[in-house]
Amino acid sequence: MKDDAYEQLAQRYAELEQEKAELAEILDRTETERDALAARLDRVGNLVTQDSESKGDFINRVRMALEYATDTSLARRDAEVIGSLRFPTMLRRIWSGGDVQRWLNEQAEEKLRQAERGES
């Protein structure tokens, strides 16, 4: 009888240890999910904060970031855009194509000079 009681107790102890291990695993998964959810909530909070920022502030922040980036020059980009423009043939009846193209080229050259001086 003592052996039976001991056997039952040992079996119950093993079952409880198994349950304890399963609960520990569930707790680990839950904590991992909680941490991931907290990180996701932080990202959403950052997006909400960014959305509440005025458009002017956002544009200024982007402009400042571009100006201070070593590989970005707004003046150089403007010069490239202006330099790529070509006077449309259909407008030659109104303005001289050469005059307008010369003006566009002057604008591009000025932007390139600004870029070389480090201005934006």
Task: Answer yes or no: is 67 within a domain.
Answer: no
Lowest mean pLDDT across 25-34, 97-106, 111-120: 111-120
Give the domain range for residue 36.
Answer: 1-52
Map 48-94 to HEC letters. Answer: HHHHHCCHHHHHHHHHHHHHHCCCCCHHHHHHHHHHHCCCCHHHHHC
For the beta carbon of residue 83, count every other beta carbon within 10 angstroms.
15
For residue 47, being part of any structural domain is answered with yes
Residues 57-98: tens digit of each pLDDT: 777 777 777 666 655 566 777 777 777 776 666 666 677 777
Flag whether 61 is in a domain: no
Q: Is the pTM of this model over 0.85?
A: no
Q: Do 43 and 82 lie in a common domain?
A: no
User: For the chain, how many structural domains are there in total?
Assistant: 2
Same domain, 46 and 78: no
Q: 47 and 4: one domain?
A: yes
Do residues 41 and 78 share a domain? Answer: no
Amino acid at 109: E
| Residue 8 within a domain | yes
Q: Is residue 59 part of a domain?
A: no
- Residues 81, 48, single domain; the answer is no
